[in-house]
């Protein structure tokens, strides 16, 4: 009984000590909802991309971000919209209803046929296409989000970006998986 | 002494539990990283939250819901479904034997455990033979479980009769999310388990997976005090009990387009363990012990079709066929179930959310009778028709919702049953919500309670005929009825702390229990007296209690979760108004239960997880013996040297070599090493 008692105490003490020793460690796993991460990615990526001349006609330099399907992505963007930033203002548009140009087209669909048909419509136009479907860059999309062990990564089709007249900073390219059309 | 240590630990954990609020204010900046300020490089390290939106919606509903995620299952280190359920508040799990668990929510463990509905991917695993769940045949590949939703309190207005004390919903992952190979091997002092799963895709929208699982478990220890009083009694468990299980499954998922999806699932299993059992004869030696092997076999096929009609409406058709054969030596039960369910959901004008459904179930059972347990007739076909409707009304959208609903059911047994409920949810302040509900639920009597003959005692008289005491089913039984009243409060004071509390009051009427009848003489095969004990709806009871669950992300790499449950029950004869506790079968439930879990990421590749549980003492009726309270812990340390390989060392019940939980079989210390390869 005595040894048992001591053992239990020891375990408790060790646990407490461990907890305190471990306190200083932090920053390993930050978590966020998928579309919050994606929306922030999009905001950050914009800074490393130059659109072809004359893409922005109005003086406010606002970016029209179009989406294909309504999903949580929009909620995530809404919560970020209010925060003041030096970035260009971003306007959310529904691709199907939008009569204006889309500077960024987030093809948030995994329906291959649909994605293919949209991509063919905007081919070679100065529209930054962003997808989240396996094989998106192979179909001619420019940037694709992929999920790797619960983290969001992205791939870039450089050839497609060039054809549409985009210049992408080497910093961004370094972080991405590069896809080349042979 | 042991008690003092237990109470010391108990107080300590309560203290730790309350501690967070103080620390938190000092750590705000660390815990509340604004991910918007991160660079792209840092952003690439942010993990996608595993809690899906669906769970969030679930957690914000007017019911006492607790969700166990895949991550929780992994970290807890348990290797079987009932052990995993220990994590949830309000849940009572006790291991009786190698293959036998008592699992219950808010009730007397043996007495009320027939009031729980358990679903695996929408398939009911509740057996109508004895109104309960055979936990030894319920298993699957644990790594492929997506989540387990535990609803305390009645879920009858949606799920129908027998969802009286609660519903356990085990949901496996989509084949789409289980692509590639996952294989693991687990070896320890009490078991060896091997799993292999492979997932692939046929076309862009057709995914599949199949798995096989095999385990081999060792017997549990015998009671320690067998050399004292019970020395002369037959020790029923003094044998090499081994439990072997083989299982394989397959699932196919077709996403025909964005609107339609079809899932087909099938599983086959066989289970086998050595056991001792008794047989009775009317000659010497009257009662004798035999050794045998208890086999079980089962399979099912389930199809689930979902169609989204528009943004505001969708429907689902689910069908399954299930066969379960299980030996309970010297008897055997086989049950075939065919079930079809249709469910339609529509949102109307942003103010109403309506779900209605229809269901049909056909159950065919067949029983191998013996003279200690039999069903008369030994074969029976039953059918159940049901329908339900539920309307959630947004009286004030996102602030005040009221839900009305009812299930209507027709079964061959008790005929027409209505099970309505009324609920409200009030988000009175941001991140504070209050909910309440009143519901009526019923439990339909089991086949054994209606048609069973169970031999309880066999008394040999020297100069007279022998006397048999036996339980006899009665077909005039009614359903047991519960009126449940619940009130819950949830709060999220900071972004990293969440707390959920519930109080409840359950009022049971017409609980089934044995009533002594007149002694009669039977002449076949030799003359003997029979003392019948008839199953009757003769008890009433109340239970009340409260449950508390909390979740605290202390730092980015440290998370604590705790659950506390208090439960008090009282059961008495309808007529006599006196305490019937010592008259009924079963044990008083543990009044206090507590579990604290911590999850720490030591480095990027090493995780350490720790869980401490406290279970209050039990008083057993039959022996009037007390089972001591116990405090025990689970521990797991995992190392992921490469993305695809994980080594884990885990243990359960580490404080003590062995402890008692419900029966006189000791639950041992368990440890194992597990290697997982996932690609």
For B631-653, what is each residue's pLDDT tens digit?
999 999 999 888 889 999 999 98
Whole-number Å distance between alpha carbons of A45 and A55:
17
Going by pLDDT thresholds of 50, 70 and 90, the confidence category of residue B271 is very high
| Joined tokens for residue B265 | 């699932």
Residues making up chain A, counted from first to last: 182
A vs B, Cβ pairs < 8 A, gives 112
Cis peptide before B393 (omega within 30 of 0): no
- The predicted pLDDT at position B158 comes to 79
Across the interface, of B5, B30, B35, the residue whose CB is closest to A8 is B5
Note whether B256 contacts A: Cβ–Cβ < 8 A: no
CA distances from B378 to A37, B127, B220, B364, B368 (A): 60, 16, 34, 11, 7
Going by pLDDT thresholds of 50, 70 and 90, the confidence category of residue B577 is low
Going by pLDDT thresholds of 50, 70 and 90, the confidence category of residue A114 is confident
Beta strands in B517-557 (DSSP E): 520-522, 528-555
Contacts 24+ apart (CB under 8 A), B277-286: B277/B329, B277/B330, B278/B372, B279/B330, B279/B370, B279/B371, B279/B372, B280/B371, B280/B372, B280/B455, B280/B458, B282/B466, B282/B525, B282/B526, B282/B528, B283/B526, B286/B458, B286/B460, B286/B466
Does B241 have pLDDT greater than 90? no
Q: B272 CB contacts (<8 Å, ≥6 apart)?
A: B243, B244, B245, B293, B294, B295, B296
Could you please report the per-residue DSSP string of B108-136? -TTTSTTSEEEEETTEE--BTTTTB--GG
Going by pLDDT thresholds of 50, 70 and 90, the confidence category of residue A28 is very low
- The predicted pLDDT at position B483 comes to 95
Across the interface, of A15, A28, A149, the residue whose CB is closest to B643 is A149
Across the interface, of B1, B12, B598, the residue whose CB is closest to A5 is B1
pTM over 0.90: no
Q: A174 CB contacts (<8 Å, ≥6 apart)?
A: none
Neighbours of B53 (CB within 10 A): 14
Question: Whose structure tokens read 């997976």?
Answer: B209
Mean pLDDT of chain B: 84
CB contact under 8 A, A29 and B655: no
CA distance B78 to chain A (A): 20
- The predicted pLDDT at position B209 comes to 94
| Joined tokens for residue B10 | 């108990």
Whole-number Å distance between alpha carbons of B620 and A84:
65
* B623 exposure class (CB count in 10 Å sphere: 0-12, 13-18, 19+): exposed
CA distance B144 to chain A (A): 16
More confident residue, B248 or B28: B248
**Closest-CA residue to B592 (of B165, B12, B90, B9):** B90
- The predicted pLDDT at position B86 comes to 94
Q: How far is CA B474 from the centre of its chain?
A: 29
Whole-number Å distance between alpha carbons of B127 and B113:
12
Whole-number Å distance between alpha carbons of B380 and B676:
46
> B161-171 in b/e burial notation, b at 16+ Cβ within 10 A?
bbbbbbbbbbb
Which pLDDT tens digit goes with each residue over A130-178?
A: 999 888 999 999 999 988 767 888 999 999 999 999 999 998 998 888 9
- The predicted pLDDT at position B333 comes to 92
- The predicted pLDDT at position B486 comes to 95
Q: B401 CB contacts (<8 Å, ≥6 apart)?
A: B62, B392, B393, B394, B395, B424, B425, B426
CB B362 within 8 A of CB B341: no
Mean pLDDT of chain A: 78
- The predicted pLDDT at position A3 comes to 55
A47-56, B329-338, B623-632 — most confident range: B329-338
Which pLDDT tens digit goes with each residue over A61-89?
A: 778 888 887 777 777 777 666 554 556 77
Whole-number Å distance between alpha carbons of B326 and B336:
12
Does B92 have pLDDT greater than 50? yes
CB contact under 8 A, A111 and B257: yes
- Sheet with strand B166-172: strands edge to edge: B64-69, B145-152, B166-172, B116-120, B123-124
- Supply the angle between the helices A72-81 and A34-46 in degrees, to the nearest 10: 60
Residues of chain B with pLDDT > 70, as a percent, come to 87
- On the CB side of B389, CA atoms within 13 Å amount to 3
Across the interface, of A26, A30, A41, the residue whose CB is closest to B47 is A30
Does B585 have pLDDT greater than 70? no
- The predicted pLDDT at position A130 comes to 94
Going by pLDDT thresholds of 50, 70 and 90, the confidence category of residue B176 is confident
A1 neighbourhood in chain B, CB within 8 Å: 1-2
Which pLDDT tens digit goes with each residue over B370-426?
A: 888 899 999 999 999 999 999 989 888 778 989 999 999 999 888 899 999 999 999
Across the interface, of A1, A40, A72, the residue whose CB is closest to B35 is A40
Does B332 have pLDDT greater than 90? yes
Does B554 have pLDDT greater than 70? yes
Tell me what the mean pLDDT of segment B345-359 comes to: 87
Could you please report the per-residue DSSP string of B410-426? EETTTEEEEEEEEEEEE
B46 neighbourhood in chain A, CB within 8 Å: 30-32, 37, 151-152
Tell me what the mean pLDDT of segment A8-27 comes to: 54
**Closest-CA residue to B77 (of B633, B603, B559):** B633
Note whether B254 contacts A: Cβ–Cβ < 8 A: no
- The predicted pLDDT at position B576 comes to 67
- The predicted pLDDT at position A26 comes to 39
Whole-number Å distance between alpha carbons of B49 and A32:
5
- The predicted pLDDT at position B266 comes to 95
CB contact under 8 A, A18 and B41: no
- The predicted pLDDT at position B51 comes to 45
Which pLDDT tens digit goes with each residue over B497-537?
A: 888 999 999 999 998 888 888 888 888 777 888 888 899 89
Give the chain A residue nearest B259 (alpha carbons). A111
Residues of chain A with pLDDT > 70, as a percent, come to 74
| Joined tokens for residue B606 | 């090493």
Going by pLDDT thresholds of 50, 70 and 90, the confidence category of residue A21 is very low
Residues 538-577 of B with CB under 8 A from A: 555-558
Dihedral over Cα of B553, B558, B559, B564: its sign: negative
């Amino acid at each position: 009984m005595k040894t048992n008692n001591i053992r239990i105490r020891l375990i408790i003490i060790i646990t407490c000590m461990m907890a305190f020793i471990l306190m200083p460690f932090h920053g390993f796993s930050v978590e966020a909802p998928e579309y919050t991460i994606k929306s922030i990615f999009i905001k950050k990526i914009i800074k490393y991309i130059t659109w072809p001349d004359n893409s922005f006609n109005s003086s406010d330099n606002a970016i029209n971000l179009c989406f294909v399907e309504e999903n949580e992505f929009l909620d995530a963007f809404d919560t970020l919209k209010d925060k003041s930033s030096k970035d260009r203002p971003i306007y959310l548009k529904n691709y199907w209803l939008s009569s204006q140009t889309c500077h960024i087209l987030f093809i948030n669909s995994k329906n291959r046929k649909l994605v293919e048909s949209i991509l063919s419509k905007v081919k070679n136009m100065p529209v930054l296409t962003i997808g989240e479907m396996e094989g998106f860059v192979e179909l001619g999309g420019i940037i694709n989000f992929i999920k790797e062990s619960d983290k969001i990564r992205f791939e870039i089709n450089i050839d497609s970006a060039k054809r549409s007249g985009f210049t992408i900073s080497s910093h961004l390219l370094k972080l991405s998986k590069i896809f080349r059309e042979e | 002494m042991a008690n003092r240590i237990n109470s010391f630990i108990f107080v300590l954990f309560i203290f730790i539990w309350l501690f967070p609020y103080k620390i938190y204010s000092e750590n705000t900046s660390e815990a509340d990283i604004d991910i918007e300020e991160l660079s792209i490089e840092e952003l690439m390290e942010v993990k996608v939250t595993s809690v899906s939106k669906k769970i969030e919606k679930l957690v914000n509903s007017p019911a006492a819901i607790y969700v166990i995620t895949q991550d929780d299952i992994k970290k807890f280190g348990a290797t079987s479904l009932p052990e995993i359920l220990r994590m949830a508040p309000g849940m009572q799990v006790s291991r009786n034997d190698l293959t036998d668990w008592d699992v219950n929510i808010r009730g007397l463990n043996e007495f009320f455990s027939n009031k729980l509905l358990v679903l695996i991917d929408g398939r009911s695993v509740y057996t109508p033979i004895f109104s309960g769940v055979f936990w030894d045949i319920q298993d699957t590949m644990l790594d492929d479980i997506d989540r387990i939703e535990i609803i305390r309190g009645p879920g009858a207005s949606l799920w129908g009769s027998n969802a009286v004390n609660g519903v356990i919903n085990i949901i496996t992952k989509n084949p789409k999310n289980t692509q590639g190979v996952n294989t693991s091997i687990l070896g320890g002092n009490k078991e060896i388990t091997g799993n292999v799963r492979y997932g692939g895709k046929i076309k862009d929208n057709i995914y599949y997976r199949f798995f096989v699982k095999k385990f081999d478990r060792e017997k549990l220890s015998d009671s320690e005090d067998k050399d004292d009083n019970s020395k002369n009694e037959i020790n029923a468990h003094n044998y090499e009990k081994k439990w072997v299980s083989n299982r394989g499954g397959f699932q196919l998922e077709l996403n025909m387009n964005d609107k339609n999806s079809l899932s087909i699932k099938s599983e086959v299993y066989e289970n086998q363990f050595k056991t001792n059992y008794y047989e009775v004869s009317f000659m010497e030696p009257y009662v004798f012990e035999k050794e045998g092997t208890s086999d079980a076999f089962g399979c099912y096929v389930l199809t689930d079709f979902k169609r989204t009609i528009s943004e505001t409406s969708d429907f689902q058709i689910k069908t399954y066929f299930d066969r379960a054969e299980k030996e309970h030596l010297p008897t055997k039960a086989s049950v075939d179930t065919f079930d079809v369910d249709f469910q339609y959901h529509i949102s109307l004008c942003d103010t109403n959310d309506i779900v209605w459904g229809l269901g049909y179930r056909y159950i065919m059972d067949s029983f191998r009778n013996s003279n200690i347990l039999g069903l008369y007739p030994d074969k029976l076909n039953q059918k159940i028709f049901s329908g339900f409707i539920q309307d959630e009304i947004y009286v004030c959208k996102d602030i005040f919702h009221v839900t009305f609903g009812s299930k209507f059911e027709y079964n061959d047994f008790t005929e027409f049953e209505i099970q309505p409920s009324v609920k409200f949810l009030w988000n009175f302040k941001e991140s504070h919500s209050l909910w309440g509900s009143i519901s009526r639920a019923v439990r339909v009597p089991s086949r054994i309670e209606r048609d069973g003959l169970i031999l309880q005692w066999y008394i040999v008289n020297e100069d007279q005929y022998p006397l048999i005491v036996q339980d006899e089913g009665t077909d005039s039984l009614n359903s047991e009825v519960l009126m449940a009243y619940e009130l819950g409060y949830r709060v999220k004071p900071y972004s990293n702390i969440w707390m959920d509390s519930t109080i409840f009051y359950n009022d049971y009427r017409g609980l089934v229990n044995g009533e002594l009848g007149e002694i009669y003489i039977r002449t076949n095969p030799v003359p003997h007296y029979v003392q019948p004990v008839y199953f009757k709806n003769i008890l009433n009871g109340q239970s009340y209690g409260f449950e508390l669950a909390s979740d605290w992300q202390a730092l980015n790499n440290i998370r604590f979760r705790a659950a506390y449950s208090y439960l008090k029950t009282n059961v008495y004869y309808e007529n006599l108004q006196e305490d019937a506790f010592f008259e009924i079968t079963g044990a008083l439930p543990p009044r206090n239960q507590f579990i604290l879990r911590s999850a720490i990421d030591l480095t990027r590749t090493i995780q350490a997880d720790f869980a401490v549980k406290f279970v209050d003492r039990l008083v057993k009726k039959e022996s009037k013996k007390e089972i001591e309270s116990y405090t025990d812990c689970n521990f797991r340390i995992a190392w992921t040297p490469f993305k695809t390989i994980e080594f884990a060392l885990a243990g359960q019940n580490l404080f003590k070599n062995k402890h008692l939980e419900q029966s006189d079989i000791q639950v041992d210390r368990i440890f194992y090493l597990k290697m997982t390869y996932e690609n």
